[in-house]
Chains A and B, each alone.
Chain A
Amino acid sequence: MIVLNILGCLVTLTLFNSGRASTFGVDTTALEPEVSGDGALFLVNNALHSLEVSDYCRELLHIFAERYISYVSCLVTSVRPVKICQNCYIHFSILKEMYNNISSDQVGPDNVSCHDSLLRSDRLMLVFQLYQDQQQIWTTSNCASCLSEDSLSNVTLYYMTVLNQSLTCFEKNQEQGNHSILCKECKTSYRGLNELYGRMEKNHSLCLDIEYSMSITRGLWSKTFNCSFPRAETVPVIAVSSFMLFLPIIFYLSSFLHSEQKKRKLIHPKRAILHSNLMNIQDRSS
Chain B
Amino acid sequence: MANITKKVSWSSRGDDPAQGEGTPLLNGATEAARCTTRQFSGGNIFRIGRMSTVDLEEETNTEEDSVLSRPKEIPHNEKLLSLKYESLDYDNSENQLFLEEERRMSYMGFRCLEISRWVVCGLIGFLTGLIACFIDIVVENLAGVKYQVVKQNIEKFTEVGGLSISLILWAVLNSVFVMMGSVMVAFFEPIAAGSGIPQIKCYLNGVKIPRVVRLKTLVVKVFGVICSVAGGLAVGKEGPMIHSGAVVAAGVSQGRSTSLKKDFKIFEYFRRDTEKRDFVSAGAAAGVSAAFGAPVGGVLFSLEEGASFWNQMLTWRIFFASMMSTFTLNFFLSIYHGKTGDLSNPGLINFGRFESDSVEYNLYEIPIFIVMGALGGVLGALFNVLNYWLTIFRIRYVHRPCLQVMEAMLVAAVTATVSFAMIYFSNDCQPLGEDQAEEYPLQLFCADGEYNSMASAFFNTPERSVRSLFHNPPGSYNPLTLGVFTLSYFFLACWTYGLTVSAGVFIPSMLIGAAWGRLFGILLSTISSSTATWPDPGKYALIGAAAQLGGIVRMTLSLTVIMVEATGNVTYGLPIMLVLMTAKIVGDYFIEGLYDVHIKLQSVPFLHWEAPATSHSLTAREVMSSPVTSFNRIEKVGTIVDILSNTTTNHNGFPVVNELIDHNELGKICGLILRSQLIVLLKHKVFVERARSRLNQRKLQLKDFRDAYPRFPPIQSIHVSQDERECMMDLTEFMNPTPYTVPQETSLPRVFKLFRALGLRHLVVVDNENRVVGLVTRKDLARYHLGKHGLEEMQLAQT
Contact = CB atoms under 8 A, between A and B. Distances in A.
Interface of A: 194, 214-215, 218-219, 221-223, 228-234, 236-241, 244-245, 247-248, 251-252, 255-256, 259, 261-286
Contacts of B60: 276-277, 280
Contact of A245 (B10, B54, B73, B414): B414
Contacts of B449: 214-215, 218-219, 222
B381 to A, nearest CB: 22
Contact of A259 (B400, B420, B787, B799): B400
B54 A281 contact: yes
Given A241-B420, A251-B406, A285-B54, A263 B622 contact: no
B159 interface: yes
A275 B424 CA distance: 64
Given A237-B167, A259-B403, A261-B396, A266 B448 contact: no
Interface string B788-799: 010011011111
Contact of B625 (A264, A265, A271, A278): A271
Contacts of A244: 171, 413-414, 417
A264 B798 contact: yes
Nearest to B432: A215
A263 B161 contact: no
A275 B51 contact: no
A38 to B, nearest CB: 35
B399 to A, nearest CB: 5
B48 interface: yes
Nearest to B649: A270
A1 B775 CA distance: 92
Given A272-B624, A274-B40, A266 B795 contact: yes
Interface stretch (B61-69, B210-218, B228-236, B269-277): B61-69
A21 to B, nearest CB: 28
B796 A269 contact: yes
A251 to B, nearest CB: 6
Contacts of A255: 397-398, 403
Contacts of A275: 46, 622, 626
B164 A233 contact: yes
Given A237-B163, A259-B403, A266-B797, A282 B51 contact: yes
> Which residue of B72, B407, B420 has the most chain A CB atoms within 10 A of its CB atom?
B72
A270 B396 contact: no
Nearest to B71: A265
Contacts of A274: 40, 43, 46
B626 A233 contact: no
Contacts of B397: 255-256, 259, 261-262
Nearest to B427: A231
Interface in B750-799: 774, 779-780, 787, 789, 792-793, 795-799
A161 to B, nearest CB: 20
Contact of A266 (B6, B411, B796): B796
A273 B622 contact: no
A265 B648 CA distance: 13
A210 to B, nearest CB: 12
Contact of B75 (A219, A229, A261, A284): A261
Contacts of A282: 51, 792-793
Nearest to B624: A272
Given A259-B403, A272-B774, A286 B79 contact: yes
A247 B73 contact: no
A282 B445 CA distance: 63
A270 B792 contact: no
Contacts of A267: 15, 71, 83, 795-798
A239 B163 CA distance: 12
Interface string B19-31: 0100000000000
B399 A222 contact: no
Nearest to B76: A264
Given A259-B397, A259-B400, A282-B792, A231 B448 contact: no
A135 B789 CA distance: 75
A276 B62 CA distance: 12
A262 B395 contact: yes
A12 to B, nearest CB: 24
Dominant secondary structure of chain A at its interface with chain B? helix
Contact of A218 (B51, B399, B448): B448
Nearest to A251: B410
A267 B795 CA distance: 7
Contacts of B395: 262
Nearest to A215: B449
Contacts, number: 200
Interface string B613-638: 00000000110111100000000000
B39 A273 contact: yes
B745 to A, nearest CB: 13
Given A237-B424, A278-B51, A259 B398 contact: yes
Interface residues of B, number: 86
A187 to B, nearest CB: 11
Contacts of A241: 167, 417-418, 420-421
Contacts of B56: 277, 281
B186 to A, nearest CB: 14
B164 A262 contact: no
A218 B797 contact: no
B796 A276 contact: no
Given A219-B449, A259-B400, A264-B80, 16 more contacts: A218-B448, A218-B449, A228-B448, A232-B161, A239-B164, A241-B418, A244-B171, A247-B410, A259-B399, A264-B76, A265-B7, A268-B67, A269-B15, A277-B56, A278-B46, A285-B792
Given A264-B73, A272-B626, A237 B410 contact: no
B161 A251 contact: no
B168 interface: yes
Interface in B145-191: 158-159, 161-164, 167-168, 171
A118 to B, nearest CB: 33
Nearest to B167: A240
B47 to A, nearest CB: 10
A68 B704 CA distance: 86
B52 interface: yes
B493 to A, nearest CB: 15
28 contacts: A194-B448, A219-B447, A228-B446, A228-B447, A233-B161, A233-B162, A237-B167, A238-B421, A240-B167, A244-B171, A247-B413, A248-B414, A259-B398, A262-B396, A264-B799, A265-B72, A266-B73, A267-B795, A268-B15, A268-B796, A269-B15, A273-B43, A274-B43, A278-B48, A279-B793, A281-B51, A285-B51, A285-B54
A263 B75 contact: yes
Contacts of A265: 3, 6-7, 10, 71-73, 797-798
B695 interface: no
A133 B243 CA distance: 51
Nearest to A247: B410
Contacts of B793: 278-279, 282
Contacts of B74: 263-264, 266
Contacts of B710: none
A213 B152 CA distance: 26
B367 interface: no
A212 to B, nearest CB: 11
A227 B75 CA distance: 61
Contact of B159 (A219, A229, A277): A229
A123 to B, nearest CB: 25
Contacts of A283: 63
B17 interface: yes
Contacts of B431: 215
9 shortest interchain CB distances as A-B pairs: A222-B447, A218-B448, A264-B797, A263-B73, A218-B449, A244-B417, A236-B164, A272-B626, A274-B43
B6 to A, nearest CB: 8
A230 B445 contact: yes
Contact of B792 (A252, A261, A269, A286): A286
B53 interface: yes
Contacts of B399: 259, 262
